[in-house]
Structure 1
């Protein structure tokens, strides 16, 4: 049993004492820029006894470390599934703490078979109307994709403004999103935000130059956002039956 009487002043070093038991001890301040560094010294007046005691403590520390490593490895071999499950559970909790925003650390493989939908909410006329409008929006995006494929100089920007009322689109998305439970809405809320952002980005990049043409770069960007908008609509509507 080590006591304070067994501690002797060894030297002055700006560091922290760590005993062989693994517990760190903060240093007491004597001077402004110096700390008293305590080392384990066995009782005795000879230098040899002090060196041998330090060697024994180092040997014990190595032994404890090796035993801990062996126990950890053995636990992984005997119970690999439990160890992996515990690690994944800790990772999910940690990422949710660090990234509390909606949409983080959520499954991407949601389907109409895996999500839980409120059957009563699906009967709501407003929900049905919202889904009907969203399917109509998706059809308009598909038509614009086909038309733009034939004519890269097509006036897409005006079509977006004519076909998409952002306020109405947001309202339809929110109505359709009511049917999911809170856990599923962590993902579907992100789908809603993506769709609204896609419409805004598409309107921004699809404008024509003064000579009513598009550069190859603008054609590529317009096509990219058209495809992304259709994909996000399709991914969101795929969660509903008969979509």
Structure 2
């Protein structure tokens, strides 16, 4: 009798265990950390996406919009109307002499453009080497640049570098092997270099007018 009672209790205990609701597994610390990291990532992405587009517009684009086409391809160059010029320095003999020379260089660029239009095969090399001495050109540009304040020079310094670079590119594009006819494509490249150099001179001179 006692043995039967023990068997009955054992069976009841097994049945109760079988029908008891299964306990939920405790989430591991790794899973919790992963979920937390995912939530943080989503919050960060939402914050970035919420930043107004106007805040990420490049300063150069804003300047180009404000001043039109002037200096659009030259960061740190602003409107000449905003420039601060020391009139006493500008009127000095040395600066006026430099101003006259820079204007002369600018006119030479226009003359070379006209010569190329008349004769697509013209060799501009001799004119460039004779009339555009790099040392003298840079000296004239730098002397004229002394008439501007430091903030203005941040823009005009870049224009000076552009003039020197454009002149170098023009001289390179002008080179042609003897007996080889300059193609229309090469002529267009030279015209583009001349136009670019002329614009750099005009932009720089605009600060002194």
TM-score, length of structure 2 as denominator length: 0.65
Q: Does 1:198 align with 2:198?
A: no
Match of 1:145 in 2: 113
Unaligned runs of 5+ in 2: 1-21, 60-72
1:122 paired residue number: 90
Runs of 4+ in 1 over 3 A off after TM superposition: 46-51, 104-108
Unaligned runs of 5+ in 1: 1-45, 93-103
Instruction: Provide the residue aligned with 1:111 in structure 2.
Output: 79
Is the 2:159–2:200 Cα contact (8 Å) retained in structure 1? yes
Give the number of aligned pairs. Answer: 172
Match of 1:232 in 2: 200
Where does 1:61-80 land on structure 2 (aligned, <5 Å)?
none
- Looking at structure 1, the residues matched to 178 and 98 of structure 2 have their Cα atoms a distance apart, in angstroms, of 38
Q: Are 1:157 and 1:202, in contact at CA under 8 Å, matched by a contact in 2? A: no
Q: Distance in 2 between matches of 1:106 and 1:207?
A: 30
Match of residue 50 from structure 1:
26
Specify the structure having the higher radius of gyration (Cα).
Answer: 2
| Cα offset, 1:69, TM superposition | 5.6
Seen in structure 2, the aligned counterparts of structure 1 residues 62 and 226 have a Cα distance that, compared at 3 Å, is: closer
Q: Which one has more relative contact order, counting CA pairs under 8 Å at least 6 apart? A: 2
Residue pair 2:145, 2:153 contacting (<8 A) in 1 also: yes
Post-superposition shift, 1:152? 0.7
